[in-house]
Amino acid sequence: MQNSTDLFERAQRLIPGGVNSPVRAFRSVGGTPFFTKSAQGAILTTADDQELVDFVCTWGPAIHGHNHPVIREAIGKALEKGTSFGTPNPYEVEMAELIIDLVPSIEKTRMVNSGTEATMTAIRLARGYTGRNKIIKFEGCYHGHADSLLIKAGSGALTLGNPDSAGVPESFAAETIVLPFNDLSAVSNAFETYGDDIAGIILEPYPANVGLIFPRDGYLQGLRDLCSKYESVMIFDEVMTGFRVSAGGVQEKENITPDLTTLGKIIGGGLPVGALGGKSEIMDHLAPMGPVYQAGTLSGNPLAMAAGIAALRLLKEGDCYDRLEQMGAQVRNAISTTLQETGIPAQIPQTGSMFCLYFTDKTVENLDDATQTDTERFNKYFHTCLENGVYIPPSKYEGNFISTAHQQGGIDQACDVFTQALRSL
C-alpha cells in the first residue's frame, strides 16, 4: 500500500484538491493530510502505519468509537436482507420511534441522507408552512452547503446577506438575514423590520462549526419568544449536538422547545444519514401529506437505519453520558491546569463529549471573537499533537469529540500529549 504522501499526489490528479470534503486537505494548518486505512475503537491507523488517538470521530458520528462490534453486527444482519429496497422498511419505523422518544420536541420525523439535506428541507418546510420567504441565520453557524445557507453577513446588522460561495445567486442571498450570534437585540431589530416575511430562524444552539460557543443566559429563550411572537418557525440544527451533549440534545439540556430539529451524525452509526422532525402540524406540510416536496431514493436506507438504531440503543444503556462527561472534564482540567502553569492565553469550552481550544484570553461568544484567536499558535499545537499520536481537527474552527472508546486508555494518553504540546509552545 502506498503511503499518505503518494496517495495524496494521486488524489490531487483525480479529485478537486485531492479530497472529497475541503477541511480534510489540511489547508488551514498546512502540511499533507494523512490517509486512514483502518480504525478501531478510539484509534486510527494511517497508510503510514501510524496509530493516532482520534478526537475527530468522523466529525461527530463515532460516539461509540470506530467499528463498534454491536453496530457492525447490526449492519451485517441488515446486509443479509439487502442493501436498499426503494420501499418502506421496518427499520425506518423503529428509528422514528427512537428519535421521537428521545427528543422532546419531535412529534413526527422524516429521514433523509445527510445533515445538509435535513437543513435544506427544514428551511423549505418553514417557508412552505408560513408562506414567507426570509430566513435568519447566524454568523459562524454552519448548516451544510445548500444555496440558501452559504451566506455571509452584509455590511450592517440589518443588511441582507451576500453569497459566501461562487455559484450562489445574489437573489438567493437576499432572502437570508445574517446576524451575529449571542446578540438578541439584533434579532429583535430584524423582526421589527422584516417580521411579516420571516419564515423562521435556524441556528446551532451550541455553534460547533466555529470551535464551540455557548449561548448567553436567556439568549435561546429570547429567540424562542421572538419566534412565538411573530409566528415564525424556530429550527434547531442539532446535527452535531443531537444525542451527543445529552440524549435529547441541547434542547433538553437548555429546556427550550424548537418547532423543527435537524439531526444527523450519530443516528447513522457511521453511515450517511440525516433527519428532520418537529411539530406534527408543520411536518404534515411535507409531501405526500402537504405541498412541500421532498424525496430521496436512499432515505431510510436499511443499513444506515440498522447502524443508527444500534448506536442509539447503546446510548440508552448504562451510563454513557456520565462517562463522556467525566472524560470531557478530564481533558478540560488537564489543559486548564497547564494553561495556568504556562501563562498561555487560551480557554477550553467543554460540554460532555465536545470541547475545543481557543488561543485567546477573551471569552469567545461569536464568529468575530473566534476569528481573532491565534491561528499560528493553534497550527503549531495541532502538528505537535499529530506528531505525538493524537489527531484533533485540522482547523481552529472545528470542535473536538470524545467517544466511549476513549476510556480504554486513550484519554489518558491524549491528556499527556495535550499538556506536552502546550508546554512546547
**DSSP code per residue over 114-144:** SHHHHHHHHHHHHHHHHT--EEEEETT----
Other C-beta atoms lying within 10 Å of the C-beta of residue 392 = 27
Which one is catalytic: 237, 259, 381, 397? 237
Which has the closest alpha carbon to 236: 265, 218, 259? Answer: 259
pLDDT-derived band at 164 (thresholds 50, 70, 90) equals confident
The string of pLDDT tens digits covering residues 245-302 is 999 999 999 999 999 999 999 999 999 999 999 999 999 999 999 999 999 999 999 9
User: Pick the catalytic residue: 265, 358, 369, 381?
Assistant: 265
**What pLDDT band is residue 151 in, cutting at 50, 70 and 90?**
confident
pLDDT at position 162: 66
- Considering the four listed CATH numbers 3.40.640.10, 1.10.1380.10, 1.10.10.10, 3.10.20.30, the one that applies to the domain covering 69-316 is 3.40.640.10
The pTM (predicted TM-score) of the whole model is: 0.95
Given this chain, do its domains 4-67+318-424 and 69-316 carry the same CATH topology?
no
Query: In the 8-state DSSP scheme, what is residue 111?
Result: E
* Cell representation of residue 321: 453520558
Active site residue 225: no
Across the chain, mean pLDDT equals: 94
Q: Where are the domains of the chain?
A: 4-67+318-424, 69-316
237 has catalytic annotation: yes
Element at 9 (helix H, strand E)? helix 4-14
Q: How many residues does the chain have?
A: 425
Per-residue pLDDT tens over the stretch 214-248: 999 999 999 999 999 999 999 999 999 999 999 99
CATH code, residues 4-67+318-424: 3.90.1150.10
Beta bridge partners of 201: 136, 234
Helices (H) and strands (E) in the chain, counts: 14, 16
**Among the options 91, 129, 142, 219, which is catalytic?**
142
DSSP labels, 258-294: -SEEEEEGGGGTTSS-EEEEE-HHHHTTBTTTSSB--
